[in-house]
Amino acid sequence: MKILAIANQKGGVGKTTTTVNLAASLAHLGKRVLLVDLDPQGNATMGSGIDKSKLKHTVYTLLIGESSVAEAIQNSETGGFDVLPTNRELAGAEVELVDADARESRLKSALEALAGQYDFVILDCPPALNLLTLNALVAADSVMIPMQCEYYALEGLSDLVGTLKRIKQNLNRKIEIEGLLRTMFDPRSTLAQQVSDQLVKHFTSKLYHTVIPRNIRLAEAPSYGRPILAYDKSSKGAQAYLQLAEELLARHNPQHSAQAV
Ligand code: ADP
Ligand code: MG
């Protein structure tokens, strides 16, 4: 079971879009996937077709010890994967857990109960380096960092890389940067092209070859509670996320690469 955190403390860079569509693409390729929504906004929950206003058991009740992981798991019918869903209550977790034991490793402990049940667990992080993101980074084997190729993109990146180094030293030795993903890419923008060139230069092997284009269908799909594959499979956005899933699998298992080519 591979646990992958999708993190970047900047908002609006495509974390949730990547979480939902990577989960659906991996499921489409036959993998058993669990999505964990760690953002109190609950966008990944809604985007997977699960109504966040009707939840009894959530990531929040799980983290404070009121629900078991089995109670909280739901199935996304539109996505073909399972979800640990979230609603606004999760915003209170930070305060409630302030004096709690092992507050940064509660998610890790909860997910340990699922060993062997999934091939991939994908964690959608909130846009902050807070206790919820910390729980994700302590539980994860690796981090995927979505970034928009714009002027301030690199600045935030060094903060995140610094945080990851400290987590690796103190809380989670196995954590690695899985890769950097260029999102919402517009090839006609000179700036986007320049930032992208810089990323290629600095991060070579850590940068995914797959680039997610700006595609209106990706922005429309969540309002139907559907991943892009269940909304417009032939769109450029759907094809890009499928390609990303293939690339991820190829990196983890060279045999898959041979089949995919
Ligand atoms: P984050 O989770 O990092 O805050 P989101 O995934 O919610 O970012 O994306 C921010 C906004 O941009 C959302 O409205 C989303 O629908 C839109 N969006 C994300 N990726 C794309 C894309 N590749 N093309 C067009 N719109 C996108
Ligand atoms: Mg988000």
CA–CA–CA angle 80, 243, 139 (5° rounding)? 60
Structure-block tokens of residue 240: 């890009």
Residues of the chain with pLDDT under 50: 260-261
Residues with CB under 5 A from ligand 2 (ion): 15-16, 39
Q: Which ligand is nearest to the CA of 41?
A: 2
| Nearest residue to 180 (alpha-carbon basis) of 152, 155, 202, 213 | 202
| Protein residue with its CA nearest to atom 9 in ligand 1 | 14
What is the DSSP pairing of strand 207-213 with strand 74-76? unpaired
| Protein residue with its CA nearest to atom 16 in ligand 1 | 219
146: helix, strand or coil? strand
pTM here? 0.96
**Residue 201: CATH number of its domain:** 3.40.50.300
Domain total in the chain: 1
Tell me: the pLDDT tens digits for 2-33? 999 999 999 999 999 999 999 999 999 999 99
Question: Which pLDDT belongs to residue 260?
Answer: 47
| Protein residue with its CA nearest to atom 21 in ligand 1 | 184
Q: Which domain holds residue 91?
A: 2-260
Is the ipTM here above 0.95? yes
Structure-block tokens of residue 68: 């078991």
Q: Which of 17, 160, 215, 226 to mutate to test the pocket of ligand 1 (most atoms within 8 A of CB)?
A: 17
